[in-house]
Amino acid sequence: MECEFPSVNSNKEEIKEIFDTVKTIAILGLSPDETKDSHKVAKYLKEAGYTIIPVYPKEETILGEKVYRSLLEIPFDVDMVDIFRKPDALGAIADACIEKGNVKVFWTQKGIVNNAAAQKAEDAGMKVVQSHCSMVEHRNL
């Protein structure tokens, strides 16, 4: 697979605004393994006061929260999706965000870039952050 550089991305001011306004964050690919980055980031965000919603194909609870199998199974509004999935999964995730209809932020973790999916999310009105660690960015504020 060819590496992409983000052509669609929020700036530092927009990232600050994101963290000031979002309340609920669906973590797509949240592993129950405490050594994995997705687990560490979700734990940090929860401790920082955000409501985290684990999305993972297995497990019943992670970090004390009910696990959903997909974004569309979540029966309430989600402000942000924080994505720990491979770039080729992002097109379907962008479609799910659009179908859900209330996602404000499409965020991919460090090294995860799919400009076509990001453009689709942005065109649907979402703020987009690609290839940035949400924990690192929040700490830097």
Q: How far is CA 59 from CA 29, 64, 102, 106, in A?
A: 12, 11, 26, 24
pLDDT (mean) for 112-123: 95
pTM (two decimals): 0.94
In this structure, what token pair is assigned to residue 87?
């770039």
pLDDT digit string, tens, across residues 83-108: 999 999 999 999 999 999 999 999 99
- 8 Å CB contact between 84 and 33: no
Q: What is the pLDDT of residue 75?
A: 97
Residue 1 has pLDDT above 80, yes or no: no
Q: Which residues contact 9 (CB under 8 A, 6 or more apart)?
A: 118, 128, 129, 130, 131, 132
What structural domains does the chain harbor? 12-140 (3.40.50.720)
Q: What is the pLDDT of residue 87?
A: 95
Direct distance between the N- and C-terminal alpha carbons of the chain, in angstroms, rounded to an integer: 33
More confident residue, 2 or 127: 127
Q: Which residues pair with 83 in a beta bridge?
A: 28, 108
Residue 2 has pLDDT above 60, yes or no: no
